[in-house]
Chains A and B, each alone.
Chain A
Amino acid sequence: QVQVQESGPGLVRPSETLSLTCSVSGGAITSHYWNWIRQPPGKGLEWIGYIVYHGGSTNYSPSLKSRVTLSMDTSTNQFSLRLTSVTAADTAVYYCARGDWSSWLDPWGQGTLVTVSS
């Protein structure tokens, strides 16, 4: 049974880069689509993007595309998120999740709260 778990700093300074890693167990990241989703406090879910092993393909939300980079490391079975030039508006719980071309997302990690503040 596949499980995913987010890790990374809980506090990032404004204008700096947010970096998170998602560790996958119980299955290889060489199949499926690997997604990042975020949820600002008290608000709804926002899809950030996904990465696919085959061809190293990525796809990003148009609203974040200029600041987001996803990557994956098959040797550690992990994939990562980098979000540059963060502001307070990027404060959110960040989730990673396995997905598919049809856009279902399962399972989800427990989420990690990232606060952007000086």
Chain B
Amino acid sequence: QSALTQPPSASGSPGQSVTISCTGTSSDVGGYNFVSWYQQHPGKAPKLMIYDVSKRPSGVPDRFSGSKSGNTASLTVSGLQAEDEADYYCNSHAGTNNYVVFGGGTKLTVL
């Protein structure tokens, strides 16, 4: 079970949109509509932002959206705000053994 692949960094100016990718295989991201995204500020616990590819938990701003195409899932943050600067991680249900696999994380910088 290999980690999902995320770009190490992404950036954008306030008000802009930025998209973070999460690439897996047909055994995880591509095989199930079970990709989640987490936001982690320094020294804090991760927070669920997107689940089941594109669903938002209650309280998460609609500036955050998720999608998937083939083996790659994406998180888009629209109307960037300073407080969106954080690390973002994806995870997915993986394989017939029902493992959980994470991406390596992407540091989002708001310029």
Q: Tell me whether A and B are bound partners.
A: yes
Instruction: Using CB atoms and an 8 Å cutoff, list the residues of chain A in contact with chain B.
Output: 35, 37, 44-47, 50, 59, 61-62, 95, 99, 101-111
Total number of residue pairs linking A and B with CB closer than 8 Å: 68
Interface of B is mostly: strand
Does B45 contact A44, Cβ atoms closer than 8 Å?
Answer: no
Does B1 contact A111, Cβ atoms closer than 8 Å?
Answer: no
Instruction: Using CB atoms and an 8 Å cutoff, list the residues of chain B in contact with chain A.
Output: 1, 3, 32, 34, 36, 38, 45-48, 51-52, 57, 89, 91-94, 97-105
Report the bound CA distance from A106 to B52 in whole Å.
13
Find B51's partner among A44, A61, A104, A111 (CB 8 Å cutoff): A104
Report the bound CA distance from A99 to B97 in whole Å.
16
Find B89's partner among A45, A101, A104, A109 (CB 8 Å cutoff): A45
Contact partners of A110 in chain B: CB under 8 A: 45
Does B45 contact A50, Cβ atoms closer than 8 Å?
Answer: no
Does B34 contact A102, Cβ atoms closer than 8 Å?
Answer: yes
Report the bound CA distance from A109 to B45 in whole Å.
7
- Assuming the contacts A62-B1, A102-B52, asked whether A45 and B99 have C-beta atoms less than 8 A apart, the reply is no
